């Protein structure tokens, strides 16, 4: 995974500002805005980890559930024609639409052919 770091199941982007001579990033895949910066990669990673630890501590202090990246569901807008085709295709195979899309996505990400699936 390029230009990303991971800590406690959170992902942080990595960017560099040549004008400011600083590395910076933000936590990705959640709605809360959590940013961090550092003068080098070591300090950037430390800042990222500190930002995550601070976020989790604040959530605990306020008794709120921290946001988690990748909840396991997402919405995809495919248009009514493709939606209809997929629903009919799933029904013909005796599976629900979620199963059809999950299987197709898994195969695609593995580089497998979707032909004759």
**Looking at residue 1, what is its pLDDT?**
46
- The torsion angles phi and psi of 78, rounded to 5 degrees, stand at -115, -5
Residue 115 clears pLDDT 80, i.e. is over it: no
Kindly state the average pLDDT of the residues 23-29. 97
- Closest-CA residue to 67 (of 57, 56, 83, 53): 56
What was the pLDDT predicted at 53? Answer: 98
- What's the pTM value of the predicted model, to 2 decimals? 0.74
Torsion angle in degrees (nearest 10) through CA of 50, 53, 59, 61: -100
Q: Where are the domains of the chain?
A: 4-61, 75-117
4 pLDDT exceeds 80? yes
DSSP letters spanning 30-74? SSS--EEEESSHHHHHHHHHHHHHHHHHHHHHTT-PPP-S--S--
Q: Give the pLDDT confidence of 30-86 residue by residue, as tens digits.
A: 999 999 999 999 999 999 999 999 999 999 999 999 999 988 888 899 999 999 999
pLDDT category of residue 113 using cuts at 50, 70 and 90: confident
């Amino acid at each position: 995974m390029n230009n990303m770091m991971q800590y406690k199941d959170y992902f942080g982007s990595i960017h560099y500002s040549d004008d400011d001579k600083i590395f910076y990033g933000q936590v990705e895949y959640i709605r809360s805005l959590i940013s961090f910066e550092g003068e080098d990669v070591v300090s950037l990673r430390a800042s990222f980890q500190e930002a995550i630890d601070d976020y989790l501590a604040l959530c605990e202090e306020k008794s709120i559930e921290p946001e988690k990246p990748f909840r396991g569901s997402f919405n995809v807008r495919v248009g009514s024609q493709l939606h209809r085709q997929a629903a009919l295709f799933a029904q013909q195979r005796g599976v629900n639409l979620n199963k059809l899309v999950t299987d197709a996505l898994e195969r695609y990400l593995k580089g497998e052919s979707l032909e004759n699936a």
